[in-house]
């Protein structure tokens, strides 16, 4: 039987502007090539939001929430082109509370239940404990959304507050980071039942890190993720395959946990 691998953290793209690879000047895969590449390394499904590289808030502020909604519509379009291979994620923005809440409702009607990866640093906001953002999360909670969010170590307090205030929302933190940040993730996630961690970005290349996480946290709270096309997906798959964990733990991390979360309000 083929192994299922769900990449919970990618940034689907179709245009150069949406292509977040850091070596984009030398290396480009179009959408079809990207799909072939992801499948070749064993990834059977991807999730994530569309981001635009090098665009600052000043550039779209006049457009207001329409800009955010444009990214969300692109996520829907691209997912459609992926034809079942991609679960789209959408953005919300604390400067636009009412619009964000309406967007949650609109996406819910379309069967979308993944918010994020949220990238505050790209959209000109920070602080997850922001009151406007908390209002948006109240609505997300009613619709049983999953929140995938970019993390920075300095905002440990704000992240903890956000999670603690929304016990019925699922929060998936992105990027384990290096050992210090990773330990903080582990500590936070073990405190809150609704907190999870994906493996995207920095961390997984340190040998033994997954073994450590499974030992401290159990494999039920860790989700496979890459951050493709910023990162090389083959490297992440191999890293998980060669960590010294049980097959059952590997299955949880590769697909079972993501399926359990995504099936809560039924899609995939
Ligand atoms: Zn990302």
Residue ranges covered by each domain of the chain: 6-262
Backbone Cα Rg of the chain: 17
Confidence of residue 155 (pLDDT cuts 50, 70, 90): confident
Is pLDDT above 90 for 221? yes
Q: How far is the CA of 232 from the centre of ligand 1 (A)?
A: 13
Tell how far the Cα of 1 is from the centroid of ligand 1, in angstroms. Answer: 30
| Residues paired with residue 87 on neighbouring β-strands, in sequence order | 47
Measured from the Cβ of residue 23, the count of other Cβ atoms closer than 10 Å reads 9
Q: How close is the Cα of 9 to the center of ligand 1, in Å? A: 6
What is the predicted pLDDT for the residue at 231? 98
The whole-number average pLDDT for the span 87-108 is 98
Q: Ligand 1 centroid to 228 CA: how many Å?
A: 8
Q: How high is the pLDDT of residue 265?
A: 57
pLDDT for 186-215, tens place per residue? Answer: 999 999 999 999 999 999 999 999 999 999
What angle do helix axes 131-142 and 97-109 make, rounded to 10 degrees?
Answer: 20
Question: Is the predicted pLDDT of residue 266 greater than 90, yes or no?
Answer: no
- DSSP-assigned beta bridge partners for residue 27: none
The average pLDDT across 58-75 equals 97
Structure tokens at 45: 């499904």
CA dist., res. 201 & res. 94, Å (int): 25
Averaged pLDDT, 58-66: 97
| Pairwise CA distance, residues 221 & 237, whole Å | 18
| Mean pLDDT rounded to a whole number for the chain | 96
CA of 105 to the centre of ligand 1 (A): 24
Q: Are the C-beta atoms of residues 203 and 235 closer than 8 Å to each other? A: no
**Above 50 in pLDDT, residue 268?**
no
Q: What's the rounded mean pLDDT across residues 217-241?
A: 98
Average pLDDT over residues 167-188: 96
Ligand 1 centroid–CA 201 distance in Å is 7
Write the pLDDT tens digit of every residue in 4-58: 999 999 999 999 999 999 999 999 999 999 999 999 999 999 999 999 999 999 9
Give the pLDDT confidence score for residue 118 in this predicted structure.
96
Q: What is the reported pLDDT for 1?
A: 65
Q: CATH code for 6-262?
A: 3.20.20.140
The percent of residues above 90 in pLDDT, for the chain, comes to: 95
CA of 7 from ligand 1 middle (Å) equals 11
pLDDT at 264: 77
**What is the 5 CA–ligand 1 centroid distance (Å)?**
18
> Does the pLDDT at position 267 exceed 50?
no
Q: Tell me the C-alpha distance between 116 and 122, whole Å.
A: 12
Euclidean distance between CA atoms 35 and 17, whole angstroms? 18
């Amino acid at each position: 039987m083929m192994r299922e691998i769900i990449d919970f953290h990618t940034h689907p793209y179709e245009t150069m502007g949406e292509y977040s690879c850091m070596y984009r000047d030398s290396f480009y895969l179009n959408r079809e090539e990207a799909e072939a590449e992801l499948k070749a390394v064993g990834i059977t499904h991807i999730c994530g939001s569309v981001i635009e590289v090098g665009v600052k808030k000043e550039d779209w502020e006049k457009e207001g929430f329409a800009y955010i909604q444009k990214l969300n519509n692109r996520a829907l379009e691209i997912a459609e082109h992926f034809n079942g291979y991609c679960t789209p994620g959408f953005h919300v923005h604390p400067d636009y509370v009412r619009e964000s809440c309406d967007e949650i409702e609109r996406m819910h009607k379309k069967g979308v239940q993944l918010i994020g990866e949220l990238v505050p640093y790209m959209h000109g906001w920070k602080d997850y404990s922001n009151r406007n953002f908390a209002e948006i999360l109240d609505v997300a909670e009613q619709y049983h959304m999953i929140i995938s969010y970019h993390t920075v170590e300095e905002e440990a307090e704000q992240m903890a507050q956000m999670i603690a205030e929304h016990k019925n929302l699922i929060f998936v933190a992105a990027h384990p980071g290096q050992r210090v940040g990773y330990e903080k993730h582990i500590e936070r996630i073990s405190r809150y039942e609704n907190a999870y961690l994906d493996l995207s970005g920095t961390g997984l290349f340190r040998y033994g890190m997954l073994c450590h996480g499974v030992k401290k946290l159990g494999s039920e709270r860790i989700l496979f993720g890459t951050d493709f096309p910023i990162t090389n997906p083959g490297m992440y798959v191999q890293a998980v395959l060669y960590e010294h964990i049980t097959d059952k733990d590997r299955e949880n991390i590769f697909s079972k946990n993501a399926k359990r979360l995504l099936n809560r309000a039924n899609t995939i």
